[in-house]
Structure 1
Amino acid sequence: MLPLVLLSLAFLVLRHELRELSVAAMLRALTSIPRERIAWAVVCAAANYLALTLYDVLALRHLGRRLPYRQVGFASFVGYAFGHNIGMSFLTGGGVRYRLYSARGLSALDVAQVGTFNALTFWAGLLTVAGGALVVDAGRGAMSALSLSPGVARGLGLGMLGVLGAYLVACARVRRTLKVERLHLEVSLPTLRRAVEQVVVSCLDWTLGAMVLWVLLPKEAGIHPTSMVALFAVAQLLGIASQVPGGLGVFDSVILAALTPRLPGAVVLGTLVVYRIIYYLLPFAVASLMLAGHELSLHREQLSEWWARLGRRRQEG
């Protein structure tokens, strides 16, 4: 029910904000973005996906499984690129990870634990960034698009930080291991040090992701980087709740509503289009080629035999 409500609200916001927007105006906005800003956005996106690989690094360390970074980075990047674009990242990204990690000796349960640990890392950073922003910003500035009173905004922010604090306390005090005999599985919370590493890595991820969009905006937007990170985190949170790949529509409507008082709707929409190409489609294309190359290398001998048989059949024919 919640995804349907969020999508409906996103549709109403987008229709309201774009009712006077022409395609020509959006195309002008697209072409007006300087190449330097696009180049910086690509750099920020590359750095963001590099930071995302650290999610898997921390998860595998928690599980006590040591793999070379080139293998972890490859599986993590491809998994996140597919998960971001296809949706249901736990299943799609997990499926890609299992395909790649199983060749390195990891079981399906190991991959499931990696996905669970990564989800904890993701939410640790989101609670930090969004909670801190709501407390400091109190529903004003770039967050005014949420139409929250200062009291409600601070209450939500404190609630998020409280959940994060409870998680850190649990990691510091609870050292009990839960054993699932039937699955031959042992589950435990990370240490406090590892939990703090989760927060740092996830906050780095959220900051770099927001910077991809921020560097694309014209200077007249007047958005401070910290405000952009806060707005980005809350917009992504609502996009995640919609369960739509990349929060398409919901994320965009929040950003559009927040920035249109400062910028024309065509400029914001054009920027969002470029952002999605750089942050979603470009990494997805690269990851698809990397995965295809990996699969071809694994089946090189079979392909050689197939081509040899095909050549003999042609000669016989």
Structure 2
Amino acid sequence: MRRALLALLPLVLLALAFIVMRHELHELRGADVAEGLASIPRERIVLAVVCAAFNYLALTLYDVLALKHLGRRLPYRQVGFTAFVGYAFGHNIGMSFLTGGGVRYRLYSARGLTALDVAQVGTFNALTFWVGLLAVAGVALVVDAGQGAMASLSLSPGVARGLGFSLLGVLLGYLVLCARMRRTLKVERLHLEVSLPTLRQALEQLVVSCLDWSLAAMVLWVLLPSGVGISPPSMVALFAVAQLVGIASQVPGGLGVFDSIILAALTPEVPASMLLGTLVVYRIVYYLLPFAVAVVMLLGHELSQHRGHLAELRARLGRRRQEG
């Protein structure tokens, strides 16, 4: 049963990928794409692609930290491949814990990891993600105080600062727990031991996640027209808060919700039509392009695996004929 499920899993994931890809491409209007491409210099599009590549490289470090915490040592080429494909699928299909977890289970199980190990990797990655988001969004709300880039949220300065300090308080509480709580929780029924990261690992989570958020925001920032008047730190702050609201909506990639907050914050400094085109190009660069690469990578991996199995089967049949 386990082998049958592992064989079917990539087929399900690839089918979902093609359905989502077809839907997203159908939703893109040619006029918006053309307008966005025409309004952005080519060198800025290239720079956005480079930022996206480094961002996905930073995302692979989530799995590196998670496996280090679990005491599992795997070559980076295997971890990087798995993490990239998992995040590309999770970003586009939604329900990233299931879709990204499905990719990770398919690929990591061949390296000796169990379903519980993969679930722990997903949980650790979620912690890393929220550590950075709490830091970036908390600082943004405290410094910006609901004004400037945060004005689209319609928060009074007091409410914005209060929310920001609350987020930073949660982050501080997590760091304190990691520093002081070294007890391991044993789940006998699952033969599982769970422990919080050490303070050093928690600080590594903070650095990696903040790097991730900063690079992701820079993908959009470099695509904006020159003279917009929003600095990189303000862009990171706006991006984090818009993503936070988008995550709360449970829409894959925050589609629509994220865009509306960015539109409200940057218009009328940037014409709405131009900004819509820019957001379309951003989605192509940050979501669709990595997703297409990940689909090809997963498909190539599965084909190579099946070729290996077929070669092994032929070798066995050949040996049996010789013995007969």
TM-score of the two chains, using structure 2 as the length reference: 0.86
Residue 184 in structure 1 maps to residue 184 in structure 2:
no
| Stretch of structure 1 that moved more, 296-305 or 204-213 | 296-305
Q: Does 1:280 align with 2:279?
A: no
Kindly provide the CA deviation profile for residues 243-280 of structure 1, in whole angstroms up to 9, marking residues without a partner as x. Answer: 11100000000001111121100111001000000000
User: Is the 8 Å Cα contact of residues 30 and 267 (structure 1) preserved in structure 2?
Assistant: no
Report sequence identity in percent: 80
Shift of 1:31: 1.2
Change (3 A) 1:188 1:225: same
Q: Which residue of 2 aligns with 1:4?
A: none
Q: Which amino acid aligns with 1:105?
A: G
Q: Which amino acid aligns with 1:131?
A: G
Alpha-carbon distance in structure 1 between the residues aligned to 2:309 and 2:75 = 27
Q: State the match for 2:69 in structure 1.
A: 62
Q: Does 1:81 align with 2:88?
A: yes
Corresponding residue for 1:242?
249
* Amino acid across the alignment from 1:53: T
* Unaligned segments of structure 1, at least 5 residues: 1-21, 308-317
2:11 is aligned to none
1:25, 1:204 → 2: CA distance? 30
Q: Name the counterpart of 1:14.
A: none
1:191-206 alignment runs, 5 A limit: 191-206=198-213
Structure 2 contact 101–118 (Cα < 8 Å) conserved: yes
Find the aligned partners of 2:312 and 2:194 in 1 and give their Cα distance. Answer: 45
Task: Tell me the SS of whatever aligns to 1:219.
Answer: coil
Q: Give the whole-Å Cα distance in 2 for the aligned partners of 1:111 and 1:38.
A: 35
Contact 2:149 2:238 in 1 (8 A): yes
- Counterpart position of 2:170: 163
Aligned with residue 36 of structure 1, among 43, 62, 66: 43
SS at match of 2:269: coil
Matched, 1:219 2:226: yes
Matched residue type, 2:197: P
Deviation at 1:26, TM superposition (A): 7.2
Corresponding position of 2:297 = 290
Cα distance change on mapping 1:292 and 1:25 into 2, 3 Å: closer
For the residues of structure 1 that align with 2:305 and 2:32, how far apart are their CA atoms? Answer: 48
Is structure 2 residue 229 aligned with structure 1 residue 229? Answer: no
Report the Cα distance in structure 1 between the residues aligned to 2:309 and 2:78, rounded to whole angstroms.
23
Shift of 1:221: 1.0
Post-superposition shift, 1:30? Answer: 3.2
Identify if the C-alpha distance between structure 1 residues 53 and 25 changes in structure 2 by more than 3 Å, giving closer, same or farther. Answer: closer
Contact 1:172-1:191 at 8 Å conserved across structures: yes
Give the C-alpha shift of residue 29 in structure 1: 3.9
Q: Deviations over 1:93-126 (max 9, x none)?
A: 0000000000000000000000000000000000
Partner Cα distance (2:74, 2:30) in 1: 49
**How far does the alpha carbon of each residue in 1:166-214 deviate from its partner, in whole angstroms, 9 at most, with x for none?**
0000000000000000000000000000000000000000000000000
* Residue of structure 1 aligned with 2:265, choices 247, 258, 265: 258
Q: Evaluate the alpha carbon distance shift between residue 103 and residue 48 of structure 1 in structure 2; reply closer, same or farther with a 3 A threshold.
A: same
Distance of aligned partners of 1:23 and 1:301 in 2 relative to their CA distance in 1, 3 Å threshold:
closer
Q: What residue in structure 2 maps to residue 268 of structure 1?
A: 275
> 2:130 aligned with 1:96, yes or no?
no
Q: Which amino acid aligns with 1:285?
A: A
| Matched AA of 1:247 | G
Alpha-carbon distance in 2 for matches of 1:104, 1:302: 16
Per the alignment, residue 135 of structure 1 pairs with: 142
Q: Hey, what's the Cα distance between the residues in 1 that align with 2:291 and 2:156?
A: 39
Q: 1:9: which partner in 2?
A: none
Distance in 2 of aligned mates of 1:54 and 1:99: 19
- Tell me the TM-score normalised to structure 1 length: 0.87
Structure 2: distance between partners of 1:23 and 1:186: 52
Count of aligned residue pairs for this structure pair:
286
* Residue aligning to 1:45: 52
> Retained in 2: the 8 A contact 1:26–1:266?
no
Amino acid at match of 1:299: H
* Corresponding residue to 2:151 among 144, 151, 163: 144
